[in-house]
């Protein structure tokens, strides 16, 4: 596990040191991604920003920063492909979200990467691939690593601000990770609804499961 080398009040001032083999792998992942997304510089910049944000969140919340950074680097790997290519890949892999793939094309890239990249990077554990698989859709059984990547994807500095994103950013280091994730997750749902977009039925199921769990915990 990486170790925090410096802590400060601002998340942007957190630095992490890694073992030599971890540094080598992170450098390899970054190089590979830079080549893979060479034609999409904004997507590349976003991915690297998510990786750094996830790493810093991990330090704050006691999650392995190496796994968080690796997941952040690779989370949008499939975005190098067009939507039609992603749909084709999803069909080839037998991905079945229970609705027409075209309706949830924005959720597919993480699921696809989680199934195809383990063969390329066997050094990374299943926890990384699970985090990548649910970084857009979320799930009822989110692990702390899953939550870190989900939040980092939503609040990384290059992402344009909104009231919901500002709220989540303001809670970093002040609220528990599960509350940070909850606000980010709910904010994403509000964004979809306000835009009149299709809301994946699985998202409603996830929301209800998480809401029920939060209510139970509050009563306890």
Convert the pLDDT of each residue in 17-43 to its tens digit.
Answer: 999 999 999 999 999 999 999 999 999
CB-based contacts of 93, cutoff 8 Å, min separation 6: 112, 115, 116
Domain that residue 205 falls in:
3-219
Does the predicted TM-score (pTM) go above 0.85? yes
Query: Is the pLDDT reported for residue 10 higher than 90?
Result: no
Q: 52 and 69 in contact (C-beta within 8 Å)?
A: yes
* Average pLDDT rounded to a whole number, residues 148-160: 97
- The model's pLDDT over 77-90, given as tens digits with 9 standing for 90+, comes to 999 999 999 999 99
Q: 33 and 47 in contact (C-beta within 8 Å)?
A: yes
Domain count across the chain:
1
pLDDT at 84: 98
pLDDT at 15: 82
Residues in the chain: 220
Query: Is the pLDDT reported for residue 217 higher than 90?
Result: no
* Average pLDDT rounded to a whole number, residues 104-123: 98
CATH number for the domain that contains residue 101:
1.10.3210.10
């Amino acid at each position: 596990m990486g170790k925090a080398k410096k802590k400060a009040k601002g998340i942007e001032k957190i630095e992490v040191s890694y073992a030599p083999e971890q540094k080598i792998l992170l450098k390899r992942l970054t190089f590979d991604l830079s080549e893979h997304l060479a034609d999409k510089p904004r997507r590349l910049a976003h991915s690297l920003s998510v990786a750094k944000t996830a790493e810093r969140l991990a330090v704050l919340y006691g999650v392995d920063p190496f796994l968080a950074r690796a997941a952040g680097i690779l989370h949008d790997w499939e975005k190098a492909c067009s939507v039609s290519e992603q749909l084709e890949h999803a069909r080839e892999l037998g991905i079945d979200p229970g609705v027409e793939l075209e309706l949830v094309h924005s959720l597919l890239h993480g699921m696809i990467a989680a199934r195809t990249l383990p063969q390329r990077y066997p050094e990374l554990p299943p926890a990384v691939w699970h985090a990548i698989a649910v970084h857009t859709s979320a799930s009822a059984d989110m692990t702390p690593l899953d939550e870190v990547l989900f939040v980092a994807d939503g609040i990384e500095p290059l992402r344009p601000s909104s009231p919901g994103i500002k709220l989540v950013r303001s809670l970093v280091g002040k609220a528990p990770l599960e509350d940070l994730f909850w606000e980010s997750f709910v904010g994403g749902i509000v964004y979809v609804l306000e835009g009149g977009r299709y809301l994946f039925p699985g998202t409603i199921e996830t929301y209800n499961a998480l809401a029920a769990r939060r209510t139970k915990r509050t009563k306890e």
